[in-house]
Amino acid sequence: MGKSQSSHGSFKIKPSMDEEKCFQSLGYKAITGIDEVGRGPLAGPVIAGAAILPIEMEDKWLKIIRDSKQLTSRKRILALDELSQFAIIATGKSSPEEIDRYGIVNAINLAIKRALHNLDAKSDFLLLDAFKLPETTLPQKAIIRGDASCISIGAASIVAKVERDALMNELHESFPAYGFNSNKGYGTKHHIDAINAIGPCDIHRFSFKPVYETAKDHNVFLDRIEMSSHKRNISDTSLKLDAQGNLPGFFKDK
């Protein structure tokens, strides 16, 4: 096995700012990394992160930024502190109800649009992890495993991950039976057992099969079940940018 390969036989990805430097050389200035966290959980929002990093600080970013899944919680928080000081960052959310109403892919795209709107700068090029953003005039590039290879996308993943983890820890205080502080809404055995025993709560995603089936068995949240079976087109809603904190499944902004 060559040195460039991992023990699983796949090539190890080395993070860089090559993409950012390439597009900067073409005249783009606000090159924005985009990533989302929370695609797969059974509960909680999906959160998108957006990050514009000063390319001249490449050495700093190469030391502290990785795909958020490769970092410990402490290292993510330390990285976020540096990003908060030297980069332009923002997040956008889509609630569990929006995930049920529009589907997870559309909800992710809505969260990305909100994150871009919340940035204190106007993006002129987007770098995204794996999938392009539809219905935008902004030039963009989707990069497979971009969260691991592209520093700006990795930074966005950290921004989104830290915020979502903090929110799930808060939600645990209101719904302690499900263990959101440890599973962050993912379908662990403890989480599934709790859903089966007591039924889902209102921050669960009723369009996801384990929640949908258990809600039907418990005869609860029938309106959400109905909503998830008749998904609406995302064009039927606005960004609701001023009301994100009041969307179903969220605490009001403090």
Q: What is the mean pLDDT of residues 206-233?
A: 88
pTM, entire model: 0.88
Q: What residue segments make up the domains of the chain, in order of their start?
A: 18-174
Is pLDDT of 1 > 50? Answer: no
Tokens of 69: 């899944």
pLDDT digits (tens, 9 = 90+) for 42-82: 999 999 999 999 999 999 999 999 999 999 999 999 999 99
CB 221 within 8 A of CB 215: yes
Q: What is the mean pLDDT of residues 96-114?
A: 96
Q: What is the pLDDT of residue 101?
A: 94
CB 136 within 8 A of CB 119: no
Is pLDDT of 10 > 60? Answer: no
Q: What is the pLDDT of residue 164?
A: 98
In the Cβ-directed half-sphere of 49, how many Cα atoms lie within 13 Å?
Answer: 32
- 8 burial type by CB count under 10 A (0-12 exposed, 13-18 middle, 19+ buried): exposed
| H or E element, residue 10 | none
CATH number for the domain whose boundaries are 18-174: 3.30.420.10
C-alpha distance from residue 222 to each of 87, 120, 217 (Å) = 44, 40, 11
C-alpha distance from residue 162 to each of 17, 43, 72, 90, 226 (Å) = 22, 16, 11, 12, 32
CB 121 within 8 A of CB 30: yes
Provide the percentage of residues in the chain whose pLDDT is more than 70.
86
